[in-house]
DNA sequence: CAATCATTCAATGAAATTATTGAATATATC
DNA sequence: GATATATTCAATAATTTCATTGAATGATTG
């Protein structure tokens, strides 16, 4: 083996992947695509940025192997290249959680005591689902629910929660979830439900993590 | 909760971590620190770059929570902030392995058939160690061996291998390891040993992964 | 205290990244 | 074929990142 070491070339490829994850909007795109495949204009709307800008980000993400695209009529639908992309984003979040004081400050300031809403693990939720005494509430927008959701989950988007409280069984415990660990919707939902006297808790993670753990996903 | 959503602030922090991983030399620094804590001038020598440049990279890595520094006399010793840093780098490598054709091309071109050297898993090596019929060879430079190594491993740096062949028991199987999955030293060592008639295989991963899996590390 | 070694800092110029804007391209519809 | 919609491309300016260089700082040694 006399060819030059591949080390540098490989590390340049690894660096390409990492730097492509190094922009907040691209991370939001991954979070969105974690809920299911989406078109460019839908992604632009979700992330709140101009379509041309989002398309540019998606091109760089495609080159870096983070997403794949396929044409469906006049739409181009993007999806995460594979499960390793979400895993990489979660690994990065772990580093930030463990080692960045600023993350701790943001989380304390907004989410309050992380444990104050008694986050429930997906293992614990699986157990609770078997005894049938818990209502699983998906508080994402209905288009994200349609892409995939926990089996038996009820879709009550956060902005409809107040109007639909009467449809919820007050005798059952409620577990609410949304897009992921740092999505605020389920925090908001659990707070509001508790004010109204419901026994509500928050699933620690989102739908993508549930799916990545091998659990069933309904649609 | 009426304060603005922390989402953007959090994703900016996550992006900071990712972009700090987005330079090949910083990834090499992580690989080196994965072998153990090191001073700036030692890291500069290992990575083959000017000290001022490496110091600059280390500052940005410290700000991003990837490394921690402590003064020991006139030396500043850097170490990985915690195990999540190595895990994040591995997650990024996974994405690249899975999804980048260029990585596949580099790996095929240099490493040949990945399976041609019969990589052995650390679980399998643990089993083999118990029956005592295998020589574990650490082919890293001796300073890295000193920082931590597999229990019972023999340190034969790659550049000394030819000179020390007579010290190896030809009746025992040999398992060689080095810094990690993409370190070429153990490939080289296994190739040379096989040419000389030894039954040699390569450990799939390096010392840091062995340690991260909870296995004992000797020093 | 001066000299040496190790490290960091600040300034600089080059390269890379990013958002914006308008044009170009592809598909669907009438 | 014209129009509308969806998406990408190319050019541009601003911002950020990176390597280099020499000065500054801190610890050790004589």
Confidence (pLDDT) at A161: 95
Asked whether residue A90 carries a pLDDT value surpassing 80, the answer given is yes
Question: Could you tell me if A120 and A204 are in contact, meaning their C-beta atoms sit under 8 angstroms apart?
Answer: yes
Question: A74 CA, D2 C1': separation in Å?
Answer: 18
pLDDT at A113: 63
Q: Using the beta-carbon criterion (under 8 Å), do A95 and B88 form an inter-chain contact?
A: yes
Chains A, B: CB contacts within 8 A come to: 196
Q: Average model confidence (pLDDT) for chain A?
A: 92
* Section A129-139 average pLDDT: 90
pLDDT at A217: 92
Q: Which of B54, B50, B73, B51 is nearest to B62 (CA)?
A: B54
B1 pLDDT tier (thresholds 50, 70, 90): very low
Q: How confident is the model at residue B111 (pLDDT cuts 50, 70, 90)?
A: confident
How far CA B111 is from CA of A178, B81, B108, B115, in Å, comes to 43, 31, 6, 9
- Catalytic choice (B64, B89, B125, B178): B178
How much is the pLDDT for A1? 36
Q: Over the stretch B112-160, which tens digit does the pLDDT of each residue have?
A: 766 667 789 988 998 888 888 899 999 999 999 999 999 999 999 999 9
pLDDT of A115 over the 70 cut: no
Neighbours of B23 (CB within 10 A): 18
pLDDT at B132: 81
Closest chain B residue to the Cα of A180, Cα to Cα: B7
What is the H or E stretch that residue A39 is in?
strand A38-39
Pick from B18, B24, B107: CB nearest A22: B18
| Pair of tokens at residue A63 | 């080159």
For nucleotide C28, give the residue with the nearest CA to its C1'. A74
Whole-number pLDDT of residue A114: 60
Distance from the Cα of A147 to chain B's closest Cα (Å) equals 22
How many Å apart are CA A198 and CA B200, to the nearest integer?
64
A29: helix, coil or strand?
helix
Question: Which residues on neighbouring strands pair with residue B110, listed in sequence order?
Answer: none
pLDDT of residue B4: 56
Predicted confidence band of residue B181 (pLDDT cuts 50, 70, 90): confident
Mutation site, A8, A29, A78, A99, interface B, largest B CB count within 10 A: A99
pLDDT in the model for residue B90: 96
Q: Per-residue pLDDT for B2 more than 50?
A: no
pLDDT-wise least confident of A110-124, A183-197, A199-213, B160-174: A110-124
Which two tokens mark B45? 């020598």
Q: Which domains does chain A have, with CATH numbers?
A: 7-85 (1.10.10.10), 109-212 (3.40.250.10)
Taking an 8 Å cut-off on Cβ atoms, the answer to whether B17 and A96 are in contact is yes
How far is B212 from B87, CA to CA, in rounded Å? 9
pLDDT for res B33: 97
Secondary structure class of B184 (helix, strand, coil): coil
> For B202-218, what is the mean pLDDT?
91
Average pLDDT over every residue of A142-150: 94
A34-81 pLDDT, tens digit each:
999 999 999 999 999 999 999 999 999 999 999 999 999 999 999 999
């Amino acid at each position: 083996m006399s060819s030059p070491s591949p080390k540098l070339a490989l590390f340049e490829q690894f660096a390409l992947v990492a730097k492509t994850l190094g922009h907040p909007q691209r991370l939001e795109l991954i979070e969105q695509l974690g809920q299911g495949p989406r078109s460019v204009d839908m992604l632009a709307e979700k992330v709140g940025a101009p379509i041309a800008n989002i398309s540019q980000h998606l091109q760089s993400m495609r080159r870096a192997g983070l997403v794949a695209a396929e044409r469906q009529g006049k739409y181009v639908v993007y999806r995460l290249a594979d499960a390793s992309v979400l895993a990489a984003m979660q690994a990065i979040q772990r580093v930030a959680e463990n080692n960045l004081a600023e993350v701790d400050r943001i989380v304390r300031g907004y989410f309050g005591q992380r444990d104050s809403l008694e986050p429930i693990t997906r293992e614990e939720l699986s157990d609770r689902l078997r005894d049938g005494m818990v209502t699983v509430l998906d508080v994402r927008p209905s288009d994200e629910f349609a892409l995939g959701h926990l089996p038996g989950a009820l879709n009550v988007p956060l902005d409809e929660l107040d109007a639909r409280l009467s449809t919820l069984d007050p005798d059952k415990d409620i577990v609410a979830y949304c897009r992921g660990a740092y999505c605020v919707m389920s925090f908001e939902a659990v707070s509001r439900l508790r004010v109204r006297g419901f026994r509500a808790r928050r699933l620690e993670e989102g739908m993508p993590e549930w799916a990545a753990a091998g659990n069933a996903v309904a649609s």
